Structure 1
Amino acid sequence: MIKVFLLRIMIFNIAFTFGQSKTFFNSKNDKIKIPFELSNNLIIVDAVFNNIPLKMIVDTGADSNLLFSYPVEDTIRVDKDKRLFIKGIGTSQSIEAFLSSGNQFTIKEYLDSNFEILIIPNLEINLVNKLGIPINGILGYSFFKDYLVEINYERELIFLHANKEKAIRKRAKKFKKSSVEVENFKPYLQLKTALDKQEYQLKLLFDTGLSDGLWLFESKTISSDRYYIQDYLGRGLSGDIKGKRSRVNKISFSDIEVNEALVSYPDSLFFKQISLVKGRNGSLGGDIIKRFNWFLDYENKVFYFKKNKLLDAPFEYNMSGMEVQHSGLELVQKEFSITKFVSVDSETSYVADRSQIIPNFRFELKPTFEVCAIREASPAAKAGLKVGDKIISINNKLAYNLNLQKITTLFQSEAGKKIKIAVVRNGKILNFEFTLEKIL
């Protein structure tokens, strides 16, 4: 399971100018409808960048737009205006990047003819491994700043509203509202949270690019609940990021309470390089944000929200302790039959000759999966599974007939469920069996 999207780059000591975006509505209406795919609580949209189709994550937690993966069959032409060096989570190493402006960017009828983006050509980020979907980049602040942005998680639709007052009057009148602080091009909410029976007022980054529901930074005043597990949280530039996973008693959105949400406390080791906004306690992520529908008004620093049908859905986690990722494609031989038909008269009548069924074969490209992380003392670890094991089958279903979402759902399904898994390790087929355990 992808616990959190950690491959966003944390950028330091770079003065982004956010040159004047030239955005247009190529629509007769005063709103634009943009469908999205919700994968691991992340919003993924289809976009066109300099005439090349891309898939982008819509990320309120990103101050800039990023491009880090290119379609292999296409060539993207850009002007590299400025060479930069940036740093990422968990590493002191600098990475070469280029700031490019004057690009053309479209999503449906939305057009930005002076689109500014940070290009990272040598960064090995392959999100198809983590999400099962090829992701090319991140859409950040510039997408949100000019219009009222409505996010409807139930319908998996984004609406851009040119007439804010009209949309708020007609569409958001039954929504509750909250003031937000926009600092360094990122929005922050103040929310009441109960941790281990104590209440705190927390300043949280509103972060649709975070798959987890809640991240908190431990400090002198904030610490995890007494009941927690050490878990794999994601992957940064220097390797796996680990930390504590627990639950919070409740998080309050005005008079709406979200109860028993999962919370992650990343090891402070991985955030030494990050200059946090003053007073920030953590991040509010997709697994909680998706339980509401939203209107985001950056200009007036107000967010409107309304609970949706996802509010009371349980907060699930991987009870196997084994993280799986897409590891590529392989050719799989499929058998099918060709039936010979014979004439039964001299005109047009034919019947199948069952004695002449001809076997035939075709080859199809199918996904492969591998174990990418194991939680210590978890059911998978106790059974003997290891990082790098290539998965052949799970519960007697061939792995290439599955996808990451189906595997994630299985590992979250129910405590006590038996999992049978066959893997290849060092050229040998090994079989393992374990039972899902609910710890939190």
Structure 2
Amino acid sequence: MKVLKLLLFNLILLSCLLFAKKSRAQYFELNKDLKSYNIPFKLIKNMIVVELNINGKGPYNFIVDSGSPLVLIMDPNLIDTTNLLNKRTLLLSGISEGEIFEALIPGPQNFDFGESLKSVNLTPAILKSDYFGVSNFMGIKVHGLLGYEFFTHLKLRFDFTNSLITVFSENAKISYRKFQKIPITIENKKPYLVSNITFYDNSQCNCKLVLDIGAGHGLSLEHTNLKNWPVTNTIKANLGRGLTGLITGEIGRVKQLKIGKLKINNPISAFPLNLHRSTLNNNRDGNLGTELLKRYTLIVDFKNELLYLKPRFVYFPNQEHDMSGIELYATGKDLNDIYISRIEPGSPSDEIGLKENDQIYKVNLIPAEEIGVEALGELFKSENGKSIFIEILREGKRLNFIITLKRRV
């Protein structure tokens, strides 16, 4: 599990929220002649990717992110591509004190999914530089995040079986049969729910979690000076990247997570260490991401502060963390060249001599570009004790390795 909560909006963008409060309401609106509309999506690295247009141009790939308080364009090339005029510069503060980054705020832009679903008064923030390298992590071009404004006026059903988001009009009849109704709260443009979490010492916590469609991990609980969760058998890990660099912490498991009457046993959790606590955190304990949420069909209703969950009729094996110690990124014109970005110390890949910046050339005799970053990530957490043949390119030479996967969590 590579925890890439892409922008950690719990820690940044107070100025964005203040800006939004001064502007007109921003939202998406369904064509008045329609009761519902289906948007196909791709689930990549447990992130929901949809295609949309901006100012009649596109399509562009956006990650649907309920944990983001705004719509964000991460690809600075869109500044010119979409002819975004009358731009203002906004300063963003990062995870550490004193770090400042720049984004642009244009006037309202026209976002749409065709004639059926269009934005109203939507003003995005545009990063002036690609701080995060999300496309390299995902293995496809990602242009931005679709946040709070996508959720605020719509009821949305997320169907992971058929890879569809269904957008409902206000007067549409929705079947809630076999769904469990869960209350949520919307605070500072972010949805929160309460989940009962049991740890392996049998202690429990009614934890306040961000409902974080847009986070590829399952569960994250934040270690702070005030909260130190009773976990054992953890490993140190890189948990992603924020505005100021790598986010460090641990990976472990909790005994059980409950949402209403629904239970998930032995889920993996990330434990970020000593994150800078901003006023936007609302005393939260962590977040709940798509790796666990995809076990259900979801209906999200921000207006009435409700979440509906229905278990899918799909077998979900026990969650596994990466067993190789390899972190990958894709580069090149078509993001087909796959490299090692980091090796976890003491991991199987470290023990056999793999190194950062090695290019993955073949895996089990199949060219890496045919497999792709996502499938390789799944392979590396597939089976404890499994041996995998890897051919890499290093300084113009081909080298062969056999890595034996090892369960560490």
How many corresponding residue pairs?
A: 400
Task: State the Cα distance separating 1:50 from its structure 2 match.
Answer: 0.9
Paired position in structure 2 for 1:298 = 302
Q: Which of 93-102 and 148-157 deviates more?
A: 93-102
Residues 311 and 61 of structure 1: CA distance in aligned 2, closer, same or farther (over 3 Å)? farther
**1:78-125 Cα distance to aligned partner (Å, 9 max, x none):** 133532100233563211212223211102410114211111122333
Residues 377 and 205 of structure 1: CA distance in aligned 2, closer, same or farther (over 3 Å)? same
Question: 2:321 aligned with 1:317, yes or no?
Answer: yes
Contact 2:108 2:124 in 1 (8 A): no
What is the distance in 1 between the residues matched to 2:34 and 2:133? 37
Task: State the Cα distance separating 1:423 from its structure 2 match.
Answer: 1.7
Bigger Cα Rg: 1
Question: 2:128 aligned with 1:121, yes or no?
Answer: yes
| Alignment-mate amino acid for residue 296 of structure 2 | F
What is the distance in 1 between the residues matched to 2:320 and 2:126? 35
What is the distance in 2 between the residues matched to 1:410 and 1:434? 12
Contact 2:337 2:369 in 1 (8 A): yes
Paired position in structure 2 for 1:180 = 184
Paired position in structure 1 for 2:360 = 391
Paired position in structure 1 for 2:215 = 210
Task: State the Cα distance separating 1:224 from its structure 2 match.
Answer: 4.6
**TM-score, L = length of structure 1:** 0.85
Question: 2:230 aligned with 1:261, yes or no?
Answer: no
Task: State the Cα distance separating 1:303 from its structure 2 match.
Answer: 1.1
Task: State the Cα distance separating 1:429 from its structure 2 match.
Answer: 2.6
Q: Which of 425-434 and 175-184 deviates more?
A: 425-434
Q: Which of 108-117 and 143-152 deviates more?
A: 108-117
**1:172-192 Cα distance to aligned partner (Å, 9 max, x none):** 143111111110010000110
Paired position in structure 2 for 1:342 = none
Question: 2:381 aligned with 1:421, yes or no?
Answer: no
Paired position in structure 2 for 1:5 = 5
Aligned counterpart for 2:40 among listed residues 35, 48, 57 = 35
Percent same amino acid among aligned pairs? 28
Question: 2:142 aligned with 1:135, yes or no?
Answer: yes
Task: State the Cα distance separating 1:295 from its structure 2 match.
Answer: 1.2
Task: State the Cα distance separating 1:430 from its structure 2 match.
Answer: 2.4
| Divergent runs of 4+, >6 A | none
Residues 437 and 90 of structure 1: CA distance in aligned 2, closer, same or farther (over 3 Å)? farther
Contact 2:387 2:404 in 1 (8 A): yes
Residues 133 and 116 of structure 1: CA distance in aligned 2, closer, same or farther (over 3 Å)? same
Gapped regions of structure 2 (runs ≥ 5) = none
**1:33-78 Cα distance to aligned partner (Å, 9 max, x none):** 1111111111110000111211101100000110121568972111
Residues 221 and 91 of structure 1: CA distance in aligned 2, closer, same or farther (over 3 Å)? closer
Q: Which of 4-13 and 60-69 deviates more?
A: 4-13
Contact 1:232 1:374 in 2 (8 A): no
In the TM superposition, 1:337-376 aligns within 5 A as: 367-376=336-345
| Alignment-mate amino acid for residue 3 of structure 1 | V
**TM-score, L = length of structure 2:** 0.91
Paired position in structure 2 for 1:438 = 407
**1:370-396 Cα distance to aligned partner (Å, 9 max, x none):** 001111100001111111111111222
Paired position in structure 1 for 2:64 = 58
Question: 2:292 aligned with 1:288, yes or no?
Answer: yes
Q: Please give the secondary structure, in 2, of the residue aligned with 1:103.
A: coil
Q: Which of 120-129 and 411-420 deviates more?
A: 120-129
Question: 2:283 aligned with 1:279, yes or no?
Answer: yes
Task: State the Cα distance separating 1:265 from its structure 2 match.
Answer: 0.4
| Alignment-mate amino acid for residue 233 of structure 2 | Y
What is the distance in 2 between the residues matched to 1:59 and 1:251? 22
Residues 273 and 93 of structure 1: CA distance in aligned 2, closer, same or farther (over 3 Å)? farther
Contact 1:415 1:436 in 2 (8 A): yes
Residues 174 and 309 of structure 1: CA distance in aligned 2, closer, same or farther (over 3 Å)? closer
Task: State the Cα distance separating 1:311 from its structure 2 match.
Answer: 6.5
Q: Which of 36-45 and 365-374 deviates more?
A: 365-374
Aligned counterpart for 1:252 among listed residues 258, 261, 265 = 258
Paired position in structure 1 for 2:74 = 68
Task: State the Cα distance separating 1:216 from its structure 2 match.
Answer: 0.3
Paired position in structure 2 for 1:241 = 247
Residues 433 and 92 of structure 1: CA distance in aligned 2, closer, same or farther (over 3 Å)? farther
Aligned counterpart for 2:349 among listed residues 376, 380, 384 = 380
What is the distance in 1 between the residues matched to 2:27 and 2:387? 56
What is the distance in 2 between the residues matched to 1:310 and 1:70? 39
Aligned counterpart for 1:89 among listed residues 83, 95, 98 = 95
Q: RMSD over aligned Cα, in angstroms?
A: 2.2
Task: State the Cα distance separating 1:32 from its structure 2 match.
Answer: 1.1
What is the distance in 1 between the residues matched to 2:78 and 2:207? 43
Gapped regions of structure 1 (runs ≥ 5) = 330-364
Task: State the Cα distance separating 1:226 from its structure 2 match.
Answer: 1.2
Residues 74 and 178 of structure 1: CA distance in aligned 2, closer, same or farther (over 3 Å)? same
Q: Please give the secondary structure, in 2, of the residue aligned with 1:257.
A: strand
Contact 2:186 2:302 in 1 (8 A): yes
Question: 2:158 aligned with 1:151, yes or no?
Answer: yes
Higher RCO (C-alpha 8 Å, min separation 6): 2
What is the distance in 1 between the residues matched to 2:126 and 2:207? 34
Q: Please give the secondary structure, in 1, of the residue aligned with 2:351.
A: helix
Q: Which of 176-185 and 86-95 deviates more?
A: 86-95
Residues 426 and 22 of structure 1: CA distance in aligned 2, closer, same or farther (over 3 Å)? closer
Contact 1:180 1:189 in 2 (8 A): yes
